């Protein structure tokens, strides 16, 4: 059986191009809660018309609800879901675990696909997603051929793979750069694309577009369920040229020719294509920008859209008229003892007096020192290929005295449990609402909320929540290394780069500082505190902990939780 060919649609014109080009299914966004809010998208009447058109041509239609949801948005999101269910949408693409839980409780027969924003990069993540009701997982775009094959073979749900289109340099769902420095959250559909800007006088974060057209027979052999093309912001020429090419390759069970790849590149590319993640060739050749000359050449190309000769049976979706009760969120009760924790990136920077201020001192797993710390930060990415080596390192750290594990991915809970750690949820879990907090609380002693939240939004969430009260926020998690210790932007602002689990992390230029805002945190229900120490030395780290204890203000430029 061939993989489903899933095609991006941003407006009614590209919908026609996708159908005529040979899509098996299309995905699009409505006017709410999708990660491409700057696309034209579809209002409710247009959505209903799109469903009817697709189903009459034998094409499925999926709707993206792939942003992180706030508590105050949850009722609107669920009412929107009820509408999508009623018009026969075939599946929802969802990133927020709390929203997913609510949808399955309300509408258990509504298929859910886990967005790439869910950061699923191993089989354990796929198993977790299956447990909470997902029937398909969009695997991380950074995975190699070997890791995709492993998940596809061992996951209890379908796998979907991005085979063509733009690549974010940061792991999806793990980018806070646009949000923290520009106030436009990529996790909420408003990314300003800071990765496409120059740093260090070059473009080290701008990747070429992905193209895996030369590997189609491999995906068929693996048993991948769906091949996905990116591009909801692009026009009809792009959509038709890519989908018609991939349609032909799938039907003929063959890889693309050089001529076919060049033809797609002429319509849209950033200095050509790359298959670096898939093939394991992660090097500078992956970097590319879209030149003015390339834009002009692409604009001059007019793709002739031919009427499809495919004759697929019409799709009928029969669903009962439902009016489920949408109940308000239920707050978790806080546990009696507050917890203060901190992560350091070098053992030598941990003050001798750390135990006076902190209950848990974390070090990255690959730099754990049992004389200095009692907790490990799990690597932010653990692929199937890396799992056994990480497990051995965890057991070694446990033997050396590690008790606590800071876990930032749902695919890592099982491994931390296997090794007998007390699990704490990291900010990478993107906890933005009470439903997500309830879901994650079933696996963790406590959890750090998303750094994107403001104080009123933090107040809405119950449970053993923690916030980052000091430190430079990690803004990007990179599979493709920068090759430099820092990024300097056009204004001379410097963003430090450190490594965690063998991958580059880009940190904010200034730290968060809340020592003189304790009353505000308390009013928001925050008792558990987390500190991040990156470039600070031993003395500075101790001074910061003392300043927090005393509630001292600072004259330095800092970021506040508003």
The full DSSP string for 318-381 is ---------PPPPPPPPPSS--EEEEES-GGGS-TTHHHH-SEEEEEGGG--TTT-SEEEPPS-
pLDDT at 333: 47
pLDDT digits (tens, 9 = 90+) for 202-247: 999 999 999 999 999 999 999 999 999 999 889 999 999 999 999 9
CA distances, 460 to each of 293, 328, 431, 442, 465 (Å): 50, 11, 12, 19, 11
Torsion on CA atoms 406, 176, 268, 43, rounded to nearest 10: 110
Residues contacting 115, CB < 8 A, separation 6+: 35, 64, 66, 93, 94, 95, 138, 172, 173
Token duo for residue 281: 């060739």
pLDDT above 60: residue 336: no
The model's pTM is 0.95
HEC string of 269-304? CCCCEECHHHHCCCCHHHECCCCHHHHHHHHHCCCC
Q: Length of the chain in residues, anyone?
A: 562
Q: What is the pLDDT of residue 326?
A: 61
Question: How far apart are alpha carbons 86 and 108 in whole angstroms?
Answer: 14
What pLDDT sits at residue 157? 98
Q: What 3-state class would DSSP assign to 483?
A: coil
Q: How confident is the model at residue 38 (pLDDT cuts 50, 70, 90)?
A: low
Comparing CA positions, the residue from 76, 93, 229 lying closest to residue 161 is 229
How far separated are the first and last CA of the chain, in Å rounded?
52
Q: Which SS3 state, helix, strand or coil, does residue 411 take?
A: helix
Q: Where are the beta strands (DSSP E) in 234-275?
A: 273-274
Torsion angle, alpha carbons of 12, 18, 24, 30, to 10: -30
User: When comparing pLDDT for 380 and 1, which is higher?
Assistant: 380
Mean pLDDT of the chain: 94
- What pLDDT score was predicted for residue 330? 44
The alpha carbon dihedral of 483, 183, 527, 380 has a sign of: negative
Given the structure tokens 């649609």, which residue do they identify? Answer: 9
> Would you say residue 447 has pLDDT above 70?
yes
More confident residue, 31 or 476: 476
- pLDDT tens column, 109-125: 999 999 999 999 999 99
Residue of 324, 363, 388 whose CA lies nearest to 534: 363
């Amino acid at each position: 059986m061939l993989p489903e060919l899933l095609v991006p649609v941003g407006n009614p014109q590209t919908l026609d191009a996708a159908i005529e080009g040979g899509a098996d299914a299309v995905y699009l966004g409505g006017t709410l809660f999708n990660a491409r809010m700057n696309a034209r998208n579809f209002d409710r009447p247009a959505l209903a018309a799109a469903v009817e058109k697709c189903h009459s041509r034998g094409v499925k239609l999926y709707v993206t609800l792939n942003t992180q949801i706030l508590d105050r948005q949850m009722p609107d999101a669920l009412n929107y879901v009820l509408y999508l269910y009623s018009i026969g949408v075939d599946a929802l693409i969802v990133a927020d675990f709390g929203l997913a839980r609510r949808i399955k409780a309300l509408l258990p027969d509504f298929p859910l696909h886990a967005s790439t924003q869910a950061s699923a990069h191993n089989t354990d993540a796929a198993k977790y997603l299956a447990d909470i009701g997902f029937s398909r997982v969009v695997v991380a775009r950074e995975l190699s051929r070997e890791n995709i094959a492993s998940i596809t073979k061992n996951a209890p749900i379908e796998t979907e793979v991005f085979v063509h289109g733009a690549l974010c340099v940061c792991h999806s769902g793990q980018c806070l750069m646009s949000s923290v420095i520009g106030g436009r959250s990529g996790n909420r559909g408003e990314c300003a694309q800071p990765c496409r800007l120059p740093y260090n006088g070059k473009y080290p974060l701008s990747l070429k577009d992905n193209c895996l057209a030369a590997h189609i027979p491999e995906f068929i052999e693996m048993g991948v369920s769906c091949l996905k093309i990116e591009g909801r912001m692009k026009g009809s020429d792009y959509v038709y040229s890519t989908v018609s090419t991939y349609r032909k390759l799938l039907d003929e069970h063959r890889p693309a020719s050089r001529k076919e790849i060049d033809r797609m590149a002429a319509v849209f590319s950033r200095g050509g294509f790359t298959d670096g993640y898939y093939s394991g060739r992660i090097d500078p050749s992956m970097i590319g920008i879209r030149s003015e000359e390339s834009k002009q050449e692409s604009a001059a190309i007019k793709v002739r859209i031919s009427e499809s000769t495919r004759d697929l049976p019409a799709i009928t979706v029969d669903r009962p008229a439902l009016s489920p009760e949408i109940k308000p969120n239920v707050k978790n009760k806080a546990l009696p003892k507050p917890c203060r924790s901190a992560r350091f990136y070098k053992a030598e920077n941990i003050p001798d007096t750390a135990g006076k201020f902190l209950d848990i001192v974390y070090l990255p797993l690959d730099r754990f020192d049992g004389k200095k710390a009692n907790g490990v930060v799990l690597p932010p990415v653990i692929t199937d290929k890396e799992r056994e080596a990480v497990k051995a390192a965890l057991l070694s750290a446990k033997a050396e005295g590690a008790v606590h594990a800071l876990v930032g991915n749902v695919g890592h809970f099982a491994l931390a449990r296997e090794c007998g750690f007390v699990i704490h949820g990291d900010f990478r879990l993107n906890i933005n609402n009470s439903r997500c907090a309830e879901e994650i609380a079933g696996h963790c002693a406590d959890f750090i909320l998303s750094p994107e939240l403001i104080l009123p939004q933090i107040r809405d969430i119950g449970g053993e929540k923690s916030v980052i009260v000091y430190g430079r926020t990690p803004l990007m998690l990179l599979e493709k290394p920068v090759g430099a210790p820092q990024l300097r932007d056009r204004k001379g602002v410097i963003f430090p780069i450190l490594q965690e689990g063998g991958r580059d992390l880009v940190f904010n230029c200034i730290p968060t500082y809340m020592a003189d805002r304790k009353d505000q945190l308390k009013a928001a229900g925050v008792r558990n505190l987390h500190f991040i120490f990156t470039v600070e030395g031993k003395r500075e780290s101790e001074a910061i902990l003392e300043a927090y204890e005393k509630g001292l203000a600072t004259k330095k430029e800092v970021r506040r939780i508003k």
